[in-house]
Chains A and B, each alone.
Chain A
Amino acid sequence: MFNASLKQLSVLLAEKKISSTELTEAFLKRVKTLNPEYNAFITVNEEMSLEQAQIADKMIASGQASTLTGIPIAQKDIFCTKGWLTTCGSKMLSNFVSPYDAGVIERFNQIGSVNIGKTNMDEFAMGSSNETSFYGPVRNPWDVSAVPGGSSGGSACAVAARLAPAATGTDTGGSIRQPAALCGISGIKPTYGLVSRYGMIAFASSLDQGGPMAKYAEDLALMLNVMTGFDARDSTSLQREKEDYVCVLEKPLTGLRIGLPKEYFSKGMSKDVECAVEKALQEYRNLGAEAVEISLPNSELSIPVYYVLAPAEASSNLSRFDGVRYGYRAKSYSDLSDMYRKSRAEGFGAEVKRRILIGTYVLSHGYYDAYYVKAQKLRRLIAQDFIDAFKQCDIIMGPTAPTVAFDLGEKSKDPIQMYLSDIYTSAASLAGLPGMSIPVGFGEKNRPVGLHIIGNYFAEARMLNAAHQYQQITDWHQRTPV
């Protein structure tokens, strides 16, 4: 049961072989046993989860069920969830019980999914290892001395360790894809604007995008069917026809043109990752796809551009945390200004402060044009590279991360090394393109390797189709660490 796909669980529920209450209880029990070691969850609330499971059981009994009704889903602690502690991994929100639901949470509630708990994450989604969380690091279930990646590290760990059948994540520069790769699971960041950002605590608003994390590509398709759709409360939500991501999964890959960016394969990738990725590409050739060499000449600039734009937006977004309307307030202060300064100094962790300072600087008088506008111009060049590349290919493939999971503490003292973990993922984020990662083998120390798939705007169905077909002839996604 713990290894079952969402579709398999759905069939068990529909055929009354198991109830949502029994399923939820089983996962809660597993969380209770294993979470102390992994620290994947910040909040577990058995009572509230079981209450939802009972509602789901009634929906199933009265014939109102859809595919994900009654299935436990772990929710990243960045999504505001009514009545649940919603911390975003920060001391700043360590006392914040959300008075409302995020758009994504509403959608899962409407169809009767069960919230199995709120997952650990890098503070305000700023990090690539989950080590910046106020609630302590998450362990990689494949090797507890390794990081799970970040920022959606708790979600990735929960799925990999089978503490939840699936989870939500969010991705600003790689925060769904990199932890999915490092934990050996599948995850997709949709095209910017497809999933509502309403109630999803903002980091960098022009980049942030929610998405699903699960074992199977098919699970991701089922979850995307729930998560995507217009929301008037998010000013960048796209108004477009609702798509079905499941119906094209079975399409053969004959003639699929896979673009391989020469910049991604020339340097930076470690040998073990390269070996696993090459093997996966060979499988794709066996499936009838053809490889085309492409070029993304400005890809090297994506990290510098990202580390101007994301902190700039973060410094603006995080100015709302002032200790007045919600969140942490310092215990002692002399006046209003001192209250702001102390509340923010005590409430934010080191990485968050670092990014707020970078952002404040690049937006400040005299530097705005040299940094912020310059980065926005380069962002267009990076996006244009992809537009040109997609004239020659249908999807793009490469490594998700340059190495397998690194050790806890290995990069936490060196921000630059940490930032470079997102070297392959941040370009697609800047362009607003969908990106996903699927497990394609193991590298050094038997740690998982992820294949990065980038699609054109709104090509999620095609990407999921490509991932699903690969998962029909391989079993990396079914391997379990525990």
Chain B
Amino acid sequence: MRGLTVVYRGRTLWPWKTIGRLTAVRDLSFSIGRGETFALVGESGSGKSTVARAVQGLVRARAGRIVFAGRDVPSPIARRDAAAKRRMQIVFQNPDASLNPKHAVATILGRPLAVFHDLSGAARKRRAGELLADVQLEASYLTRMPSQLSGGERQRVALARALAAEPDLLLCDEILSALDVSMQARTIDLLRKLQVEHGLAYLFISHDLAVVRWLADRVGVLFAGVLCETGPAERVFVPPYHPYTESLLLAAPRIAGRLARRGPSAEPPASGSGTSGCPYAPRCARRIAPTCDVAFPPLQEIGGGHAIRCHVPAAELARTQQDLAAAAVVAAPAPAASGAEA
């Protein structure tokens, strides 16, 4: 994905909402290697779902290229050829919304098998059973309806459906958020197992840093449509951090400790606030006025594939930041500068 820009044209149903254009994602570039897990981390409104949808072709990109297996792929999914469509699949956050409640599991799995692999009859049924086994569900589930399944089971069916196409890349858009913690743990294990068995690559979208820490090979941190930091997981989770990454790590819940005293200071901006400067500047504890407010920050390459988009020199960040991920308990630093609390 090079220089991906997606612009949402706002449409209104309620008269008091504004009609306008929102830049959801701006000039975003990242790449995912074969069999690799790339995690995209950010808050709601950061644009991470937009990225997933744009890559899948559900949302039209205004500018930029999507290069898949060495070939440019058109932005809208309708213009992609069958092979491109098959090799990239998406799983959504809410399995209730993505599984047709009127279709039995066999029908849900049968469709991609028919469309992508031309299977029918007994062969299709057998393959559907194999897919269910892959996601650790019994073959008896084939006759069940989504309403008869738990949230975790529905999410597994959604995964099986995506796997039915035999993709190379799976886009997982917050697939764990709707699940209980024990089901989350089992789904993560399942994702790992599937990756090993099938050589799958994942674009894993999540706001949960603890999950991302151990699941991802590489991480991208997204704020208001801009990638502020990218790099291998083991580098992103140690200093230097982008100030936004730092605030996420401070806010991340820890079992052993109480609330960190210094957390994020202000409400995230509405997407597309349209400033020319750094989108994180209004909230940033390390903001340099007026540079950060007016100039879009440069990308600093730190080495080993790690890059931070910030005006503050990486060396200074490294010097002044504590290693937050390693700490079981976050020490209470000085109280927050009073930001516009919302």
A and B: interacting chains: no
Q: Which residues of A contact B (CB under 8 A)?
A: none
Residues of chain B whose beta carbon lies under 8 Å from any beta carbon of chain A: none
